[in-house]
Amino acid sequence: EKEKLKQVNDFFNQRIEFVDDIYLWGVNDYWATPIEFLAKGAGDCEDYSIAKYFTLKELGVSESKMRITYVKALKLNQAHMVLTYFSSPRAVPIVLDNLIPQIKSATDRKDLLPVYSFNGSGLWLAKARGSGKRVGSSGRLNLWAELKQRMLNNTF
Please count the residues of the chain. 156
pTM of the model: 0.84
Domain 2-151 has CATH 3.40.50.1220: no
Q: What is the pLDDT along the chain (156 residues), one digit of tens a residue?
A: 899 999 999 999 999 999 999 999 999 999 999 999 999 999 999 999 999 999 999 999 999 999 999 999 999 999 999 999 999 988 999 999 999 999 999 999 999 999 888 887 766 667 544 455 554 544 456 777 777 778 788 754
Which residues, other chains included, contact 68 with Cβ-Cβ below 8 Å and sequence gap of 6+?
46, 49, 50, 53, 81, 82, 83, 84, 117, 118, 119
- Sequence ranges of the domains in the chain: 2-151
Of 151, 113, 127, 132, which Cα lies nearest the Cα of 31?
Answer: 151
